[in-house]
Amino acid sequence: MPLKGTTRLIGMIGDPIAKARTPALLNPRIAAAGADLAIVPLHIPAGAFGTVFPALLTLGNMAGFIVTYPFKEGCLAFADRISTGARLVGGLNAMRREEDGTWTADIFDGVGLLNAVKAQHDPRGARVLLIGAGGAGRAIAVSFAEAGAAAITVAELDDARADGLVSGLVAAFPGCVIRRGPPHAAGHDIVVNATPVGMNPDDGLPGEVGDFAAGMTVVDIVPAPAPTALLRKASAEGAATIAGSAMTDGQATALLRFFGIEE
């Protein structure tokens, strides 16, 4: 994909950024769509963010940003419009410059997973168990609530994190029953592991999940090359399973649409 003087840029920012896979994954899709646009990795040392990022916003050919650790929260202060999801999560993973020069922020962790789930299980009216209420978990909870889930149980060891998510969701989605609870699969239709448990091959389960059953859908967002212990158990007990790669694929498609790329 040749870069030209007319090429508009999407900066992927993070610290570190060397292992970022998004530019290599999405630039071919952008080129195939015929857009004069390119994603470029930009390593901003965390200590320099307050100086460097405001300067990047002024570049005339900067179309937007894809944001990774540790800047998802800090970038919100520079957005003129913030989606409901990003506001509730307290972070973003994309910013887009509008024609009037203002900036719109959104987050797609939850949307990416929801797109993968919809292929197997309608989230409307579903009872969801969310294990882990970190950044990705919060985004996932918001997406399920927006999609019409009947109930969401949040299983999280950090009391402040869990209570903050539950209170925010209750206020924003009064039609969804949202509560804290243990990580037990029984009584739920969809189970999502949004913790890092499963990153290592010898990791066990993300809590005492109990038994799965046919009709359940079990999702593990860990991008492991082989099925995690959670997915192996779920599959053996008759539940449908979705691996972390499906979330990544769904997130990539949502990001492209956010930047106006239709494939």
Known catalytic residues are: 72
Residue 178 — φ and ψ, nearest 5°? Answer: -125, 130
Q: Do 218 and 144 form a contact (C-beta atoms < 8 A)?
A: no
- Name the burial class of residue 253, with classes exposed (0-12), middle (13-18) and buried (19+) by CB atoms within 10 angstroms of its CB: middle
Quick one: tokens of 202?
A: 């010898």
Quick one: tokens of 223?
A: 């991008």
Tell which residue, 14, 20, 141, 110, has the closest CA to residue 70.
14
- Name the burial class of residue 31, with classes exposed (0-12), middle (13-18) and buried (19+) by CB atoms within 10 angstroms of its CB: middle
